[in-house]
C-alpha cells in the first residue's frame, strides 16, 4: 500500500494560570495543556480545535504560518462545545479569513450555549483581563447530518459523533489515511479528566461507551485534547481514560466530601497533571451545600 500524502502535526498550548479558590494540597491552579491538530495534504490543511485565549490562538496561527507557509488553511473543525476548544476562533479567523469553520449540529448548539452571558462570566472569572476574545456568535456551520465529512485534496476526513464524554454532543475526527482519531476531550493523556459534567454512574458509562466507539475504528494514533507535556500519544490512552473514569466511579461512592475525593484521587493516580480540573470536578461531585451525585 502506498503511503498517504496526508500528515498531521500537533500544537501543544502550555498550561496557563487560572484564577481559582485554593486547591487542597496547595497546587498552583493551571488550565491543563491543550492540543490543536493540523492535518495537511500537499497544498491544503484542516485545523482541529483552535484553543482558548487570544495569546494561545495567536501562537497557534504563527505556528501554522511558519510550519507550512505554502499550504492554505481551508477548514477548522471543532470537536465539542467547550470554550477552550473554540474561543480562539476570533483570532484564527482574523489571520485566515477565508477558512470554513464546521462542527456537528450538536456541537454547534453547545458552542452557542458557551457564548451565553452566564457561561462567559465563568470563563472571565477564570481568565480575566481580556485574555479571551469571544466570538459574537459561533462563526461555524453545522455539517450535513447525512455527510459528516471534510474533503482535503481528495482525502476524506470523517466527523464522528459519540454523545456524552466530558460534555454532551462530543465528537472526534477520523482520518482513515493515517488511521488516526483526533479525539478532542473524549480521551485524555496523563492529565486529570474533567468529570464535572459526568456526576452520575450512567453518564460516566456513556463516556466509556464513547471511547468504545473510537476503539471500534481501530486507530493506530489517538490525539487527545488535554495531556501531560511530553506524554507519548497512542491508542493506549483509550483504555487509560476508561480506567480513570472507572476509578472515579468507585471512589465517588467511597469519598466523604470534595476534599476527601481529591485526596483519594491524588493518592490513587498521583502522576497526572491538571490539579485545578481535578479539584473543580471534585467540588461538582460533592457540592458544599447539596447532595453528592454518584
Element (H, E) at 18: none
Nearest by Cα to 24 from 269, 265, 289 = 265
Whole-prediction pTM value?
0.96
DSSP annotation of 33 reads: P
Angle of the 105-114 helix axis to the 117-126 helix axis, nearest 10: 70
Residue 79 near residue 225 (C-beta atoms within 8 A): yes
Angle of the 201-215 helix axis to the 236-252 helix axis, nearest 10: 170
Helix-strand-coil percent breakdown of the chain, rounded to 5?
35, 20, 40
**Model pLDDT, residue 1:** 40
Q: Which residue has the cell 459574537?
A: 136
Burial class (CB in 10 A: 0-12, 13-18, 19+), 290: exposed
Burial class (CB in 10 A: 0-12, 13-18, 19+), 127: buried
**Model pLDDT, residue 138:** 81
Q: Where are the beta strands (DSSP E) in 78-202?
A: 100-103, 141-142, 149-152, 155-163, 170-175, 180-182, 188-189
Per-residue pLDDT tens listing for the chain (294 residues): 445 689 999 999 999 999 999 999 999 999 999 999 999 999 999 999 999 999 999 999 999 999 999 999 999 999 999 999 999 999 999 999 999 999 999 999 999 999 999 999 999 999 999 999 999 888 899 999 999 999 999 999 999 999 999 999 999 999 999 999 999 999 999 999 999 999 999 999 999 999 999 999 999 999 999 999 999 999 999 999 999 999 999 999 999 999 999 999 999 999 999 999 999 999 999 998 555 555
Residue 193 near residue 241 (C-beta atoms within 8 A): yes
Tell me the C-alpha distance between 163 and 155, whole Å. Answer: 26
Tell me the C-alpha distance between 212 and 218, whole Å. Answer: 10
Give the C-alpha distances (Å, rounded to integers) separating 128 from 28, 33, 121, 122, 125: 17, 18, 10, 10, 6
**Domain 7-285, second-level architecture:** 4-Layer Sandwich (3.60)
Per domain, the residue ranges of the chain are 7-285
Beta bridge partners of 151: 156
Amino acid at each position: 500500500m502506498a503511503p498517504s500524502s496526508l500528515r498531521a502535526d500537533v500544537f501543544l498550548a502550555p498550561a496557563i494560570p487560572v484564577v481559582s479558590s485554593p486547591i487542597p494540597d496547595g497546587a498552583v491552579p493551571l488550565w491543563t495543556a491543550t492540543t490543536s491538530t493540523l492535518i495537511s495534504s500537499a497544498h491544503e490543511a484542516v485545523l482541529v480545535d483552535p484553543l482558548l485565549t487570544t495569546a494561545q490562538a495567536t501562537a497557534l496561527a504563527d505556528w501554522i504560518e511558519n510550519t507550512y507557509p505554502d499550504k492554505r488553511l481551508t477548514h477548522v473543525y471543532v470537536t465539542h462545545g467547550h470554550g477552550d476548544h473554540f474561543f480562539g476562533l476570533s483570532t484564527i479567523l482574523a489571520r485566515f479569513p477565508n477558512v470554513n469553520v464546521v462542527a456537528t449540529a450538536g456541537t454547534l448548539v453547545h458552542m452557542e450555549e458557551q457564548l451565553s452571558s452566564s457561561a462567559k462570566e465563568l470563563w472571565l472569572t477564570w481568565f480575566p483581563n481580556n485574555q479571551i476574545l469571544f466570538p459574537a456568535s459561533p462563526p461555524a456551520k453545522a455539517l450535513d447530518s447525512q455527510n459528516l465529512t471534510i474533503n482535503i485534496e481528495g482525502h476524506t476526513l470523517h466527523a464522528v459523533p459519540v454523545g456524552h464524554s466530558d460534555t454532551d454532543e462530543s465528537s472526534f475526527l477520523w482520518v482513515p489515511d493515517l488511521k488516526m482519531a483526533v479525539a478532542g476531550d473524549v480521551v485524555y493523556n496523563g492529565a486529570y479528566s474533567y468529570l464535572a459534567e459526568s456526576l452520575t454512574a450512567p453518564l460516566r458509562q456513556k463516556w466509556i461507551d464513547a471511547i468504545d466507539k473510537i476503539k471500534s475504528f481501530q486507530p493506530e494514533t489517538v490525539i487527545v485534547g488535554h495531556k501531560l507535556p511530553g506524554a507519548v500519544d497512542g491508542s493506549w490512552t483509550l483504555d487509560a481514560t476508561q480506567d480513570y473514569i472507572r476509578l472515579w466511579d468507585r471512589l465517588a461512592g467511597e469519598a466523604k466530601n470534595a476534599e476527601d475525593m481529591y485526596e483519594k484521587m491524588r493518592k490513587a493516580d498521583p502522576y497526572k497533571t491538571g490539579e485545578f480540573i481535578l479539584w473543580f470536578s471534585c467540588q461538582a461531585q460533592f457540592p458544599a451545600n447539596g447532595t453528592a451525585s454518584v
